[in-house]
Amino acid sequence: MTNINDLIARIRIKINDTSSFEFQDSELLSYINEGISMLEIILLSNKAVFNISMISSAATICPVPDDMLEIYKVLHNKKEVLFKNIDDLTYGYYIINNNIILPCTNTEIYYIKEFERYNLNDNITLPHIYIDYLYNFSVIKALSRLEYNMENEKNELMQLSTMIVQTALNKKSIYQLKRYNGFSL
């Protein structure tokens, strides 16, 4: 298991800032957490496997959970309720103003949880290939701030992204992609 401080130390070695002269730990940590957001986008766009959570709603308006990345599915009496655009008159649910608007009560909402964001001293609970991605992403962000040529780092990041996508596709996880603000992508 890798610790955030260990990852930051590896990043510092690569960007030649072991004395913390150029970058604060908090800035490098923000690059790591930004990398997690990019990783989620890569995995979502390729229909990868995520942790699924469920909440039950007894009302027709349910607040969007803080840890929700995407809705996986909505069920009422074990039948799927489809997503709809806010201006569509068909039966279904939509999301607006950080609320899930449901057509009926007693509904189960299954959603994809976002990855944990880290603080200093936290242990990273992601697979090693994801940690390698975060390392490369953070190095590129730091070096770009210093205006270095990063072609090698960008190529390595692209190769890691491709490997992550191939791994995700091999799991053959398929779900409906849903987005916030009442509109689908």
Q: Which of the pair, 157 or 81, is modelled with greater confidence?
A: 81
Give me the DSSP letters along the chain: -EEHHHHHHHHHHHTT-TT-SS--HHHHHHHHHHHHHHHHHHHHHTT----EEEEEESSSEEEPPTTEEEEEEEEETTEEEPB--TT--SS-BEEETTEEE-SSSSEEEEEEEPPPP--TTPEE-S-HHHHHHHHHHHHHHHHHHTT---HHHHHHHHHHHHHHHHHHHHTT-------STT---
106 and 142 co-located in one domain: no
67 and 87 co-located in one domain: yes
121 and 154 co-located in one domain: yes
Query: What pLDDT score does 109 carry?
Result: 94
The 10s digit of each residue's pLDDT in 32-51 is 999 999 999 888 887 777 77
Query: What pLDDT score does 97 carry?
Result: 87
Query: What pLDDT score does 164 carry?
Result: 75
60 and 102 co-located in one domain: yes
Residue 91 structural domain? 52-113
18-22, 28-32, 47-51, 125-129: which has the highest mean pLDDT? Answer: 28-32
Query: What pLDDT score does 58 carry?
Result: 92
pTM over the 0.75 mark: no
